[in-house]
Amino acid sequence: MKFFTQAMAIPLISLSFPVVANTLDTAASIEAKTLQSAVASQQRIDVSDDRAQKMKAEIALLQQDVDNLSVYRTHLQNVTHDQSLEEANLNQQLEDINQTRQGIVPLMYMMIDGLKLWVDTDLPIKAAHRQKRVDSLISMMSMSDVSDAEKFRRILEAYQIELDYGSKLGSYQETIVLDGVSRDVDILHLGRISLLARRLDGKAFWFFNKDQSMWHPVTSSDHESLELAYQVANKKSAPTLLTLPLSVSSLQEEQK
């Protein structure tokens, strides 16, 4: 009985070796597949991590661009707002200029009328020249190629010239009518208070009386003092005290 038991055990043991071998092979295969799966999974994780890092970097760059665009948009909004204010300011200036032009044109005509009256009623100092200047200003006002600023400048210049006549001692040659005869004479004026005429040979003098609008001869006794005035006006003598006949009355001077 004992012999039989042992005999039966040997086949059982011999049969277990193939089973164990198969089991080991299967386990090894499973382990290999598991390792392969793990490697593949790790590779996929690595690839996904690389992609995630790249996407994170791209997102950071995009966020920086967004921030820059936001700053630039705010800058443009500020610039646009400032331009809107500047446009409104320019429009207001244009409106003011239009209103100023509407007021300055009538003023210029009034100034020319005043200048013309001044020349017509003043002593006849360079009368033809001054009248020509006034006529030129009147013609200028209708010229489209002359700006209002230039027109106003020329009118002011004419007024300044007129003012200079009233503060200077000057002389010039002119042809005037004396005693019904046209004569070439040397004219001398002291401001607007004395206007004299001297024959070119220096042997006769006249003074203009504004009240009568006439030239009157000057007596020979006063010729020496008048000749001195001409020498001073022509810078041939040093400035000195002059004695000259008045062309205007003291009352007219007080009114001026």
Strand ordering across the sheet containing 169-178 = 169-178, 181-190, 194-199, 205-209, 214-217
Q: What is the mean pLDDT of residues 20-49?
A: 75
At 171 the three-state DSSP class reads strand
Q: What range does the domain containing 181 cover? A: 169-255
- 40 versus 75: the higher-pLDDT residue is 75
Domain annotation covers residue 88: no
Distance CA 221, CA 203 (A): 12
Burial of residue 215 (number of CB atoms within 10 Å: 0-12, 13-18, 19+) = buried
User: Which two three-digit tokens encode residue 38?
Assistant: 């793990």
Higher pLDDT residue, 28 or 201? 201
If you average pLDDT over residues 43-52, what whole number do you get?
79
54: in domain:
no
- Which of 25-34, 133-142, 233-242 ranks highest by mean pLDDT? 133-142
Q: Which region holds residue 179: left if phi is over 0, alpha if psi is between -120 and 50, else beta?
A: left
**Is 144 found in the same domain as 183?**
no
Task: Evaluate if residue 10 carries a pLDDT over 80.
Answer: no
In a domain, 73, yes or no: no
16, part of any domain: no
pLDDT interval class at 7 (50, 70, 90): very low
Is 112 among the domain residues? Answer: yes
pTM for the structure as a whole:
0.60
Whether residue 174 is found in the same domain as residue 155: no
Q: Where would I find the beta strands (DSSP E) of the chain? A: 169-178, 181-190, 194-199, 205-209, 214-217
For residue 204, the model assigns a pLDDT of 94
pLDDT tens for 167-193 read 889 999 999 999 888 999 999 999 999
- Same domain, yes or no: 178 and 139: no
pLDDT of residue 13: 47
Do both 132 and 180 map to the same domain? no
Identity of the residue numbered 104 = I
Domain boundary among 128, 147, 163: 163
> What would the two tokens of residue 148 be?
């209002």
Predicted confidence (pLDDT) per residue in 232-241, tens digit: 999 999 988 8
Q: Could you tell me the two tokens for 30?
A: 């499973």
**What's the rounded mean pLDDT across residues 128-141?**
96
The count of domains in the chain is 2
Q: How far is CA 234 from the centre of its chain?
A: 45
145 with 209, same domain: the answer is no
Residues 180 and 250 both lie in one domain: yes
Quick check: is 79 in a domain?
no
CA torsion angle for 75, 78, 80, 82 (degrees, to 10)? -140
Region of poorest pLDDT, from 65-74, 88-97, 159-168: 88-97
| 132 has pLDDT over 90 | yes
Domain identity same for 145 and 203: no
- Is-contact 146 140, C-beta < 8 A? yes
Residue 107 one-letter amino acid: L
- What is the phi/psi pair of residue 237, to 5°? -135, 155
State whether 186 and 209 are in the same domain. Answer: yes
In a domain, 49, yes or no: no
pLDDT value at position 215? Answer: 95
Looking at the fold, whether 173 and 155 belong to one and the same domain comes out as no
The mean of the pLDDT values for the chain is 84
Looking at 146, 163, 180, which one is the last position of a domain? 163
Which pair of tokens denotes residue 11? 């086949």
Looking at the structure, tell me whether residues 190 and 244 fall in a common domain: yes
Q: Is residue 50 situated within a structural domain?
A: no
Q: Which of 128, 146, 163 is the last residue of a domain?
A: 163
Q: Are residues 183 and 226 in the same domain?
A: yes
